[in-house]
């Protein structure tokens, strides 16, 4: 992934009202596709801008986490509306949301890895030098994230892409009602999750890549259910709750797998190789246990 890729950031003369949080509760089955997009996007964008501003002066772990979630939600929303947005409008925006989420995630990944290494240390592993090195890597990641995520540039970018999207939707789908459209996109997201769950469930212990695919599909469906709940028939609270439970298990596994990959791919000049290997053995043991738990959840989901 090109972490230094740029998005053109002109400041348009007409601004999308990102500072005004719209209520999803005001959405109805007769709301138009175009107006629903702006109502759903505005609060997520406001959250992203708020977190980006806060992270320019501080480095709270939860702040990086919430910023990454905001960009992931925007990716899901753009995917949902992509049939009317078109490839030229949706694809570049989705790629930039992905890049910004990855930049924010660089610090978050070291927060998670550091927490796991502390757990290993408390369980008796002799990895003090690696724990200290991980803190240094986290500090470097903070500087990189703050350099790459300038709040003014993020706000300008979001203002630009959302204004483009709103303009495109108003011209491509006008006043078409949102309910049938929302149902169709939800069905597609559900089919994708079902297909990936069944593929992962073919094995007693699912492959890492298969579990990762289920996690991404489940996350997208959950975000879309949360977005579209006011305009589709029937409550989806139970489905969202079930998806959240599965995501928690998959997330615990992913934290281990991602931390293992991060430590394997990082050069620690002052840490003996034997110390790194000891941490990886501990992570491997934890990963096997969490993989089994995640596989059980996925099998239940596929049924």
Largest CA distance in the chain: 64
Task: Say how far apart CA 6 and CA 243 lie, in whole Å.
Answer: 34
Residue-level pLDDT at 3:
31
pLDDT of residue 4: 33
User: What pLDDT does 95 receive?
Assistant: 95
Q: Which of 261, 244, 228, 198 is nearest to 27 (CA)?
A: 228
Query: One digit per residue, pLDDT tens: the chain, 303 residues?
Result: 333 333 333 333 344 454 444 444 467 778 899 999 999 999 999 999 999 999 888 888 888 999 999 999 999 999 999 999 999 999 999 999 999 999 998 999 999 999 999 999 999 989 999 999 999 999 999 999 888 898 899 999 999 999 999 999 999 987 899 999 999 999 999 999 999 999 988 877 778 899 999 999 999 999 999 999 888 876 678 888 888 888 899 999 999 999 999 999 999 988 999 999 999 999 999 999 999 888 888 888 877
User: What pTM value is reported for the model?
Assistant: 0.86
Please name the residue ranges forming H helices in the chain: 33-55, 61-85, 87-122, 128-148, 151-172, 179-200, 208-228, 237-265, 273-302
Structural domains in the chain, CATH included, are 24-302 (1.40.20.10)
């Amino acid at each position: 992934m090109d972490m230094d890729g740029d998005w053109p950031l002109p400041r348009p003369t007409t601004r999308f009202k990102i500072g005004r949080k719209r209520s999803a509760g005001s959405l109805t089955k007769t709301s138009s596709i175009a107006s629903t997009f702006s109502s759903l996007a505005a609060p997520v964008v406001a959250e992203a801008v708020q977190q980006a501003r806060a992270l320019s002066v501080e480095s709270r772990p939860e702040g990086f986490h919430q910023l990454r979630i905001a960009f992931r939600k925007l990716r899901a929303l753009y995917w949902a509306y992509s049939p009317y947005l078109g490839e030229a409008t949706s694809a570049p925006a989705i790629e930039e949301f992905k890049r910004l989420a990855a930049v924010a995630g660089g610090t978050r990944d070291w927060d998670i890895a550091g927490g796991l290494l502390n757990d290993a240390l408390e369980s008796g592993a002799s990895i003090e030098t690696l724990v200290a090195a991980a803190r240094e890597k986290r500090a470097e990641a903070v500087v990189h994230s703050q350099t790459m995520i300038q709040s003014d540039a993020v706000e300008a970018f979001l203002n630009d892409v959302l204004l483009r999207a709103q303009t495109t939707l108003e011209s491509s789908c006008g006043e078409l009602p949102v309910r049938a459209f929302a149902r169709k996109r939800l069905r597609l997201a559900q089919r994708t999750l079902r297909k990936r769950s069944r593929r992962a469930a073919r094995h007693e212990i699912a492959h890492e890549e298969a579990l990762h695919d289920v996690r991404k599909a489940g996350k997208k469906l959950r975000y879309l259910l949360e977005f579209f709940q006011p305009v589709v028939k029937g409550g989806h609270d139970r489905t969202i709750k079930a998806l959240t439970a599965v995501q928690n298990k998959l997330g615990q596994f992913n934290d281990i797998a991602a931390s293992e990959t991060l430590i394997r791919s990082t050069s620690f000049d002052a840490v003996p190789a034997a110390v790194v290997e000891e941490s990886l053995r501990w992570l491997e043991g934890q990963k096997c246990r969490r993989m089994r738990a995640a596989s059980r959840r996925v099998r239940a989901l596929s049924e």
